[in-house]
Every structure is written in structure tokens, then in C-alpha cells.
Structure 1
């Protein structure tokens, strides 16, 4: 499980990306690379990491559910995800 500080840092970076998104888009269209370099590094969407919304686990996260594979399995077995059930054949 990721530390709370790591999860909060990720949230701050996401807000920063959202704040500078329009400005970054405008500077890219103009081709003003010097001004783009002057923006904060963490305002780039490439620097965001997808984390599990429940545990903060950085690997094995499903985009559709925003949770890790482990939590997805646990929640599916408990019946918390509608329409998902254990396969049997």
C-alpha cells in the first residue's frame, strides 16, 4: 500500500496538470518551446502515475475501474461490482 503522502502528492500533481492544461495546449500550438519549458515540470500529464483509488498501488491498475487487480478481484468476489462474477466453465 502506498503511503498517504504519495497519494496526496499524486492528487496535487493532478490538480497542477488540470490547471496548466489549457496553457500547455496553447503554447504547443504556437510552438513556443521556451515558454513551455518555463512551466512547472509536474504540470505535464506524462508525469502522472495511475494509482489504485483504494490502496494507492501503482501497478496492475485497471483504467475502467481505477482500482488494482487485487482489489478488483476482492470486490468482484464480494459482489460489489455489478455484472462481474467469477468465471466457471
Structure 2
């Protein structure tokens, strides 16, 4: 089980990313537009840099929804390999069969 503080910090980051998504997208569009004057693009770049760091999508860490574990994460199932194995062995994941050969 992961530290509750780490899981909560990640939740706060997700909320902040959603809150600033439109603003960041607009500023990035201005920065990438080569037809705009360089002064306007530079001003937009400074505004983007002044936004909170945790509002960037790359700051979010994929964590298991069951345990909060940050490593061994399956995106499709949104859980770690360990939680997947435990739930699969107890028959709680439909269609998952333990392999044997």
C-alpha cells in the first residue's frame, strides 16, 4: 500500500491539470504559431512559465487505483501487476485466466 499523502498529492495534481488545461493549450498555441510576432510569442512563453508546475500533465504519476502503487502499472486496467494478480486469482476479474503450461 502506498503512502496516502503520495496518492492524495497525485489527485491534487490531476485536479490542477484539469483546471489549467484550457489556459495552457491557448498559450501553447500562441507559442507554436510562427506567424505571430516574436514579442507576443515570448510573452506567452513567460505566462506559461508562470503557471504552477503541477498544472503540467507530465507531472501526473500513474498509480494503481486499488493500492496506489506507482510501478508495474497497466494502463488499460488502471492497476498494478500485483493487484491484478491478486484479484485475478480470487476470480474478481472477468475473463482473466491463470496461465499454466
Give the gaps of 5 or more residues in structure 2: 32-43
What displacement does 1:88 show? 2.6
Q: What is the alpha-carbon distance in structure 1 between the residues aligned to residue 100 and residue 68 of structure 2?
A: 30
**Displacement after TM superposition at 1:79 (Å):** 1.0
Which is higher, the Rg of structure 1 or of structure 2?
Answer: 2
For residues 2-41 of structure 1, what are the alpha-carbon distances to aligned partners after superposition, in whole Å with 9 as ceiling and x for unaligned?
Answer: 1111111110110000111111111000112111001000
TM-score, normalised to structure 2, is 0.84
* Aligned counterpart, 2:27: 27
1:28-47 to structure 2, matched below 5 A, reads 28-31=28-31, 32-47=44-59
Which residues of structure 1 form unaligned runs of 5+? Answer: none
- Distance in 2, matches of 1:3 and 1:87, equals 32
4+ runs of 1 displaced by more than 6 Å? none
C-alpha separation in 1, matches of 2:72 and 2:53: 26
